[in-house]
Structure 1
Amino acid sequence: MQKAKIFTLFAVVILTWGSTWLAMKFALVSMPPIFATGLRFLSAAPLLLWMLNTTRSSLLFPQGHRFFQFCVFLFCYCLPFTLVLYGEQYVDASTAAIIFAVIPVAVLLISIVLLNTPTSLLQLMGSMLALLSLFCILQEEARVSLSNNWKGGLAVVLAVFMHAFMYVLCKKRSCQVSLFTFNTLPCLAAGLLLTLTGAIVEKPILGNITWLSFASIIYLGTVASVFGILCYSSLQKRISTFSTSLVFICFPVITVILECLVMDSVFTPTSWILLAVMLGGVFLSLIPVKKRKRVPMTQQQWN
């Protein structure tokens, strides 16, 4: 029974995260990126507020972590999600998902710098393999699409490293708060700020917003942002960090398959091979470092 629950949670997470990138693409059909990102967070906020109240969690971070809560609002919500939607104006949904799959590699590299995290040669080799393969995939997709998509790719890469940096910084600060405390206020504040900014700067015409874009925003806010996070958090409590991280290897494959089926996109055989190599590199970077056992000094060792 427990294995069935774990399998179900894992399947739900990869299907949810895998479909998120197509939903973003559909949202952009009739909405500009900043306005769409704001509406996404506004649609998620009521559900988060209800769960915050139900679990009796605090709205604010503890004293001493309030500035960090502002950083979460800015670098976990406002900037990275806007960059992703901006990027998807120039790159395919599958390309954006593939870039995001290297988050474990980014976390590893930033952890080495900020936390002096022990690492292995295998992890470093996997990280380099993943990054090199990602670069080759971007080159291949740019060649096939015959478009100048470097802007979109760069925007998504920046979003990846923002998320990874904030994850490592949270670990460094040992900021222990509930899932709802971490997400609710930053999500609500980002929703209000980005919706207002988008309305002023981008001037969207509300009458032109299609039902497809509107439904995509609701899906992104409630299913992808809230339900997806809850399922992933529940999965983390049941299996190891290594096993949970395998989600990052599976969801881009789902995105590629969905995009090929729904949007009649073509993912070349070369890109499939490069994707397999890249995900293999990500897998190697996730393999935990074995802790060396301390050998007690015997009488012979002293002599």
Structure 2
Amino acid sequence: MPKPSSKSLIIIAFIAIYIIWGSTYLLNKISVTELPPLFLAAVRFSVASILIFGIAKVLKFSLKITKKQFLNSALVGFLFLVYGNGVFVWALKYVDSGFGALLAATQPLFVLLLMRLIDHKKMRPKSLIGVGLGILGMYLLVSQKELVTNEETLLGIFMIFTCVLSWSYGSVYVAKADVPKNYFVSTGYQMGIASIMLACGSLTLGEDWTSPLVWSPKVQLAMLALITFGSIAAFTAFNYLLKQVSTEKVATSAYINPIVAMILGWYVLDETLSTQSIVAAVVLLTGVYFITTRKKDIV
């Protein structure tokens, strides 16, 4: 059986981070209604890492890792999974899944600004337009009266923005970092290390740990999907893309994920979006489009 070409793998990986990750907002929202957020994330990533290492062993992938690769994996695991995901899931207790996905759509803006600060990359005129539209879109999102008067929602919004910053810095860092060359193995180490940190954080905060046997069927199914598709498939695809195409191009998932998340949130959870949120979404995603498009795309 011939191996798929590099271009085919890149296309499949993009589909994974576009569609699967878009659905994880809904899955996390369902799960966090019953489970503590850090415990939820710890279970998700510990099981996923065990499965990944098991599959890697069967496929005879090398699991060797240097001290530097281990430390880099720990840092990236913290930025992506402990803070970027664990705290984000906590924030979903206070905001709708579709709204949270819209806030996460600001990632390309953060990536662009970080690359400007870290790599001193000049901003193109289109990028400057995108930044302006992104800032306007963010203002329209968070300036709604019903949000300003709700302190818990405001806290959730603020924490989501810090999560997006953490995820964005991780994206810029891992693109050049020395991590295991096999993307599957690299994902396994990041998740395994992150799950230990998340478990320690959960215990420190006194979260209630429960057996999966007592979870409701919908939470059991949501966690199964988060582990197999959201963690193993999509996150491996994400790590693969960061080494194959530009960081800005990988960040384009930020304007597909919200659309998927909003449709699923509306269909499954009956979430509603105000007219101002819809206008903000259009402005924000247009800004993201300006930031991430180039004359010559790398795919």
Q: TM-score band, normalised by the shorter chain?
A: 0.7 to 0.9
Equivalence for 2:128: 124
Deviation at 1:229, TM superposition (A): 2.9
- With 125-134 and 85-94 compared, the bigger mean Cα shift is at 125-134
User: 48, 54, 61: which one pairs with 1:56?
Assistant: 61
Q: Deviations over 1:147-194 (max 9, x none)?
A: 330111111111111111122223354657331232212211222342
Q: Relative to structure 1, is the Cα distance of residues 184 and 238 closer, same or farther in structure 2, using a 3 angstrom cutoff? A: closer
Deviation at 1:10, TM superposition (A): 4.8
State how far apart, in whole Å, the 2-side matches of 1:55 and 1:147 are.
53
User: 134, 137, 141: which one pairs with 1:137?
Assistant: 141
User: 147, 150, 155: which one pairs with 2:150?
Assistant: 147
State how far apart, in whole Å, the 2-side matches of 1:159 and 1:240 are.
21
The AA in structure 2 aligned to 1:285 is I
Equivalence for 2:226: 220
Matched, 1:189 2:193: yes
User: 79, 85, 96: which one pairs with 1:81?
Assistant: 85
Given that residues 52 and 184 in structure 2 are in contact (C-alpha distance below 8 angstroms), is that contact kept between their aligned partners in structure 1? Answer: yes
Matched, 1:263 2:260: no
User: 208, 211, 222: which one pairs with 2:217?
Assistant: 211
Q: Relative to structure 1, is the Cα distance of residues 20 and 156 closer, same or farther in structure 2, using a 3 angstrom cutoff? A: same
Q: List alignment gaps of at least 5 residues for structure 2.
A: none
- With 226-235 and 99-108 compared, the bigger mean Cα shift is at 226-235
Equivalence for 1:95: 99
Q: Relative to structure 1, is the Cα distance of residues 66 and 17 closer, same or farther in structure 2, using a 3 angstrom cutoff? A: closer
State how far apart, in whole Å, the 2-side matches of 1:165 and 1:237 are.
15
The AA in structure 1 aligned to 2:171 is Y
| CA RMSD in angstroms, aligned pairs only | 3.2
Q: Relative to structure 1, is the Cα distance of residues 191 and 8 closer, same or farther in structure 2, using a 3 angstrom cutoff? A: closer
State how far apart, in whole Å, the 2-side matches of 1:113 and 1:177 are.
27
Deviation at 1:125, TM superposition (A): 2.3
Given that residues 44 and 221 in structure 1 are in contact (C-alpha distance below 8 angstroms), is that contact kept between their aligned partners in structure 2? Answer: yes
State how far apart, in whole Å, the 2-side matches of 1:216 and 1:38 are.
15
Matched, 1:26 2:33: no
State how far apart, in whole Å, the 1-side matches of 2:43 and 2:80 are.
16
The AA in structure 2 aligned to 1:143 is E
State how far apart, in whole Å, the 2-side matches of 1:237 and 1:76 are.
16
Deviation at 1:128, TM superposition (A): 2.6
State how far apart, in whole Å, the 1-side matches of 2:176 and 2:198 are.
29
Equivalence for 1:277: 283
Q: Deviations over 1:74-99 (max 9, x none)?
A: 22222222111110011110111112
Partner SS for 2:209: coil
Q: Relative to structure 1, is the Cα distance of residues 241 and 185 closer, same or farther in structure 2, using a 3 angstrom cutoff? A: closer
State how far apart, in whole Å, the 2-side matches of 1:40 and 1:199 are.
16
Given that residues 35 and 196 in structure 1 are in contact (C-alpha distance below 8 angstroms), is that contact kept between their aligned partners in structure 2? Answer: no
State how far apart, in whole Å, the 1-side matches of 2:118 and 2:244 are.
28
Partner SS for 1:40: helix
Q: List alignment gaps of at least 5 residues for structure 1.
A: 291-303
State how far apart, in whole Å, the 2-side matches of 1:171 and 1:238 are.
9
Deviation at 1:240, TM superposition (A): 7.7
Q: Deviations over 1:6-60 (max 9, x none)?
A: 8776555422111100100111121111111101102211221134332513342
Partner SS for 1:246: helix
Matched, 1:69 2:73: yes
When normalised by structure 2's length, the TM-score is: 0.83
State how far apart, in whole Å, the 2-side matches of 1:80 and 1:243 are.
19
State how far apart, in whole Å, the 2-side matches of 1:110 and 1:121 are.
17
Q: Deviations over 1:116-170 (max 9, x none)?
A: 1232122022123113212311233x62796330111111111111111122223
Given that residues 78 and 190 in structure 1 are in contact (C-alpha distance below 8 angstroms), is that contact kept between their aligned partners in structure 2? Answer: yes
Q: Relative to structure 1, is the Cα distance of residues 276 and 261 closer, same or farther in structure 2, using a 3 angstrom cutoff? A: same
- With 236-245 and 81-90 compared, the bigger mean Cα shift is at 236-245
Q: Relative to structure 1, is the Cα distance of residues 51 and 115 closer, same or farther in structure 2, using a 3 angstrom cutoff? A: farther
State how far apart, in whole Å, the 2-side matches of 1:52 and 1:121 are.
45
* Number of equivalent positions: 288
Deviation at 1:269, TM superposition (A): 2.6
State how far apart, in whole Å, the 2-side matches of 1:242 and 1:87 are.
25
Given that residues 175 and 242 in structure 2 are in contact (C-alpha distance below 8 angstroms), is that contact kept between their aligned partners in structure 1? Answer: no
